[in-house]
Structure 1
């Protein structure tokens, strides 16, 4: 039978939902995954009210129809998604294209470029690095109103799924000295540490074993931390850790240790400053006298401790301090103070 050409009509939208809200998803895995298990995972990634239909589209490929365009764009923007340890590549499925016409050969990654000299941390360099690794989709400006926002560059790049991932590159620093810039991938699923490709692990790699290994878990970028406002930055400290997108922030604390002598002196000072009423003066003098006699009540074995040590271990001094405060409260302080 000879080949022939046939004009077909454009049909109406199916299920009352525009086909513009449909994407094609391909799980980047060399082996054929269980369809039932994959569909169950896909249903858990999005609420049922958002993801209306999951259809079969080929080996490890599925069509996903969303409720509206906003839900579809959110799914595309929030990727990458992980299914059974493999990356899920999502691309829009236009109504005027067949499933085979949708280009799934590239997958978008947010990249972090670490260990760059500060003078080289510019958006132009980020774009230059991205163009070397694939197609640049977006560049995050590293400079903020108060200087560098972070200690590395960020660029979103569309990378060929069949090419090995790039762990880093050398930067010439003059003479024979070079600096190694590390490249980390956000939301990077399992990949081969031997050949650096997506879709399989080390056990199923068909390439010759490379030693020492160029690839590894160090290429995964940890989850991003939100940037802090200048006001909050003053109450935080930077530890220089490059593992996080903003490093590891920790709140500054004040190490406090209530010494025995400090507790005694503080209690005595407060007794003088409380302004005890005249009619309670005898009781106040009695309390103050008991405070000054506190050292004589300590066990004999601690008398040989060097000056400035916490003789009470932080317990007796604290309880003595609180008991004094409660006694003063029972006497009644002048409400005008």
Structure 2
């Protein structure tokens, strides 16, 4: 380990030591009383959220854009510290429609929205996971079932919902699945399966992707700003050399090089 790594470990150990003393010295005060019933009902109609890369935004433009995208004026949007937002709807049904209709974007930035969680401060919500609709291409006709589509995307993460493509469809798309994506991990380009000794590649295309890195495959930054893999303009020019690319976007209608 180099000297910089040793210094970082030493700082981390010192911080943990100070935090340990702080917790040991603090007496926990137990609050037994319940929150007011009217506040609990109000919170059932609330979504909280943040923008993935936490950019500097025009708040008025942010409100107007979301109201148009959500097709409603019946929402109050307030901005809190650290780029956190509270969205208060007129009904729980309207809130649920917005939650299930995501992901949502503002100027190509991903907006991570979460339902209200009791006894949880805004900054303690889990903003590391977001649900996306993924399209599955390449399944044989006899395999286009909910079970097979769910199995196809099982390597992405938790599967929330599956829809089989209509029989009258004119694409090679087998169906769609709503899956949770861990935002700190690279997007999955697809999956290689074997059916009766025949290898088949399944392509994954994602709907409403925010900007992401063609070098590391992680959402929230471009390849020119990637901290993990240095930007190589020559490599970006050769589609067949890229593991990640524009074909991840469902709107592009282009298959991956693996296809």
How high is the TM-score relative to the length of structure 1?
Answer: 0.57
Partner of 2:193: 171
Alignment of 1:18 with 2:39, yes or no, is no
Deviation sequence 1:99-157 (CA, Å, 0-9, x none): 2443222111111111222233222111112222100100113475x899964221111
Q: Which has the higher contact order (CA 8 A, sep 6+)?
A: 2
Between the aligned partners of 1:157 and 1:17, the Cα distance in structure 2 is: 29
Partner of 1:219: 248
SS, match of residue 219 in structure 2: coil
User: Deviation of residue 219 (structure 1)?
Assistant: 1.0
SS, match of residue 107 in structure 1: strand
Q: How many pairs does the alignment contain?
A: 221
Between the aligned partners of 1:154 and 1:35, the Cα distance in structure 2 is: 34
1:58-73 alignment, distance < 5 Å: 58-73=81-96
Counterpart among 126, 131, 144 of residue 154 in structure 2: 131
User: Deviation of residue 178 (structure 1)?
Assistant: 3.4
Deviation sequence 1:12-50 (CA, Å, 0-9, x none): 646x97111111112111x54236354554455446741
SS, match of residue 18 in structure 1: helix
Alignment of 1:203 with 2:224, yes or no, is yes
User: Deviation of residue 84 (structure 1)?
Assistant: 2.1
**Distance verdict in 2 for CA 1:180–1:84, change over 3 Å:** same
**Distance verdict in 2 for CA 1:200–1:60, change over 3 Å:** farther
Between the aligned partners of 2:166 and 2:46, the Cα distance in structure 1 is: 37
**Distance verdict in 2 for CA 1:8–1:49, change over 3 Å:** farther
How high is the TM-score relative to the length of structure 2?
Answer: 0.72
Partner of 1:159: 181
User: Deviation of residue 75 (structure 1)?
Assistant: 1.0
Segments of 5+ residues of structure 2 without an aligned counterpart are 1-21, 236-240, 255-259
Partner of 1:305: none
Alignment of 1:108 with 2:137, yes or no, is no
Between the aligned partners of 2:75 and 2:226, the Cα distance in structure 1 is: 35
**Distance verdict in 2 for CA 1:142–1:187, change over 3 Å:** same
**Distance verdict in 2 for CA 1:55–1:8, change over 3 Å:** farther
Between the aligned partners of 1:207 and 1:26, the Cα distance in structure 2 is: 24
1:2-81 alignment, distance < 5 Å: 2-6=25-29, 7=31, 9=33, 10-11=35-36, 13=38, 18-29=42-53, 32-34=55-57, 36=59, 38-39=62-63, 41-46=65-70, 49-56=73-80, 58-81=81-104
Between the aligned partners of 1:73 and 1:168, the Cα distance in structure 2 is: 30
Partner of 2:18: none
Counterpart among 211, 217, 240 of residue 190 in structure 1: 211
Between the aligned partners of 1:74 and 1:147, the Cα distance in structure 2 is: 26
Between the aligned partners of 1:162 and 1:71, the Cα distance in structure 2 is: 30
Contact 1:114 1:152 in 2 (8 A): yes
SS, match of residue 200 in structure 1: coil
Deviation sequence 1:213-234 (CA, Å, 0-9, x none): 21111111139xxxxxxxxxxx
Contact 2:137 2:172 in 1 (8 A): no
Segments of 5+ residues of structure 1 without an aligned counterpart are 224-241, 244-337
Contact 2:84 2:123 in 1 (8 A): no
